[in-house]
Structure 1
């Protein structure tokens, strides 16, 4: 396939003949695409373009023969394989495009996409041998690639109103309930000062979870108490009294007058976990969002779910891939040129920020 594409790229006669053949067959005047070894999707685009232009290409190759070594003739079975590979790889291409978005949350769609791709690459006895082998390799890759962060990805999907019902999961309601219980735990982690998903996204991470943090805090408290006891002993030796090192806190007038009077009938305040569970019940009972809906706008409107809103911001702001950050480097390369080598670093930062965040309609308002 690459040799055929290369032939049409190098031969002016062949490319002119291809254009004439496209005109006569009523095909789009598209050139053949040569793939790049470092980009798998370029190989798919090469196959897609060949399949689109196969009639014109075959007709030209019958008329024009290259000099030197002859080009390999493609059989009907090989052309059929091209179509089957295009069908197999097209969902992957669309998934790659979705995960590379910048304006919408992408982490929460990883689990649904994995479920969809696993179904697409399921075993089918009617597949060609090469297609069956490709599917097997994909299944093995899926099983080994995402296991250690699967819970993290499922939590992100649960906090996305498009997927909060978790219908993509092949599991009963008990498993889904466990996911939301973990989310309640993470709300507690967040309000206790721990990053809710710290240590999840990295193999072998030593970052403490909330439970580990409680143990560390207990050890720290014991260490502080030891110093306090030593200080109390020193105070007794110097002053000859057992008085506390710290004077008792002064109570306010309101506390002294009404604190004990109102305490017996006062409704006990709900714990963070109880509030989180209440918000989760409300959240799960609400209508889902269409797959094309605006997730961030939906969360902005949920003013009665402040705890879940804060956690959702933490999850949904994480990009699923490194593509957005790599695009920033590309933008910087467009801004910093030889003609603009005197730009100060802070001005470069400002220009990159404006390029990535300033909308087109904002520019029109400025020019007016």
Structure 2
């Protein structure tokens, strides 16, 4: 709104001076304040638009989109006192509301498992290390489940052996070997992923992970689980709004099954 007004200020001024009952035009100092305010608000508007989409991954963008506006707003050198006050208030509010965003486990894991960001935007090393540890736990649980399934299938096929005093010893050796193997697999997958180069910003992280599926199968499963989360409630609100436009007074007897189909068809891209 401010940007549009500043673009059209000369035209608005020409219209206002023709009518005696029109509101007074802004002074040069007030227009200067508006220009400074626009510099402060523009990064927040861009971040809001970016994280409110529903056609691409948004959960992994939350932490980067907190830091990027800060990097734009903090260095601003403003002359007007009102704009300076707005700048300080915005920085305080971002810190108050989003200061501990890196400690939100789901968002931290999504950011680390996004090949475009990984650990780049983490300022809190403790939050970063705890998120990496959580990913290791998930991978270990996945491997242990596979081991239990393979063990149960092995035991079911084997006939009963004769009594042996060293049966338990063999079981312990087998268990320790599998644990070591699983730990190596976890550390190998994570280290390969974290050491690899960062993806381009315009790439789809799900498509990148589709290419890495064979090389990093355990991480691939966890990445798909966390990257598909939405970052805000905007997509669900948008869906409710679309449903309200379809189910109106003239079409109030539509069943849920038909409504789901209509909403699905509406969500498809135009080329499909």
TM-score class normalised by the smaller sequence: 0.7 to 0.9
Three-state SS of the structure 2 residue aligned to 1:253 is coil
Matched, 1:323 2:234: yes
Query: Counterpart in 1 of 2:136?
Result: 184
CA distance in 2, matches of 1:253, 1:138: 71
CA distance in 2, matches of 1:336, 1:88: 41
Q: TM-score, normalised by structure 2?
A: 0.80
Query: Counterpart in 2 of 1:284?
Result: 194
Tell whether the 8 Å contact from 1:123 to 1:132 is kept in structure 2 after alignment.
Answer: no
Query: Counterpart in 2 of 1:64?
Result: 19
Matched, 1:252 2:134: no
Superposition CA RMSD, Å: 3.2
Query: Counterpart in 2 of 1:139?
Result: 91
Q: Please say which structure displays the higher CA radius of gyration.
A: 1
Three-state SS of the structure 1 residue aligned to 2:20 is coil
In structure 2, do the counterparts of structure 1 residues 355 and 98 end up closer, same or farther at CA, with 3 Å as the change threshold? same
Tell whether the 8 Å contact from 1:184 to 1:276 is kept in structure 2 after alignment.
Answer: yes
Query: Counterpart in 1 of 2:74?
Result: 122
CA distance in 2, matches of 1:250, 1:154: 41
CA distance in 2, matches of 1:290, 1:345: 41
CA distance in 2, matches of 1:124, 1:359: 40
Q: For residues 138-217 of structure 1, what are the structure 2 equivalents within 5 Å?
A: 138-151=90-103, 152=105, 153-164=107-118, 166-170=119-123, 176=128, 179-188=131-140
CA distance in 2, matches of 1:128, 1:145: 26
Matched, 1:340 2:251: yes
Three-state SS of the structure 1 residue aligned to 2:122 is coil
Return 5+ residue gaps in structure 1 as ranges.
Answer: 1-44, 194-248, 363-368
Three-state SS of the structure 2 residue aligned to 1:48 is helix
CA distance in 1, matches of 2:77, 2:39: 16
- CA displacement 1:310-354 (0-9 Å, x = unmatched): 211221121111110011111112221333233222211222223
Matched, 1:351 2:262: yes
Tell whether the 8 Å contact from 1:185 to 1:273 is kept in structure 2 after alignment.
Answer: no
Three-state SS of the structure 1 residue aligned to 2:85 is helix
Query: Counterpart in 2 of 1:49?
Result: 4
Measure how far apart 1:251 and its partner are.
7.8
Which one scores higher on RCO, CA 8 angstroms, separation ≥ 6? 2
CA distance in 1, matches of 2:111, 2:156: 49
Tell whether the 8 Å contact from 2:116 to 2:201 is kept in structure 1 after alignment.
Answer: yes
CA distance in 2, matches of 1:186, 1:132: 46
CA distance in 2, matches of 1:100, 1:250: 51
Measure how far apart 1:272 and its partner are.
4.2
CA distance in 2, matches of 1:110, 1:99: 7
2:223 corresponds, among 312, 319, 324, to 312
Matched, 1:98 2:50: yes
Query: Counterpart in 2 of 1:302?
Result: 212
Tell whether the 8 Å contact from 1:279 to 1:305 is kept in structure 2 after alignment.
Answer: yes
Q: TM-score, normalised by structure 1?
A: 0.61
CA distance in 2, matches of 1:192, 1:84: 57
In structure 2, do the counterparts of structure 1 residues 60 and 96 end up closer, same or farther at CA, with 3 Å as the change threshold? same
CA distance in 2, matches of 1:276, 1:119: 35
Matched, 1:268 2:177: yes
Tell whether the 8 Å contact from 2:139 to 2:186 is kept in structure 1 after alignment.
Answer: yes
CA distance in 1, matches of 2:220, 2:156: 38
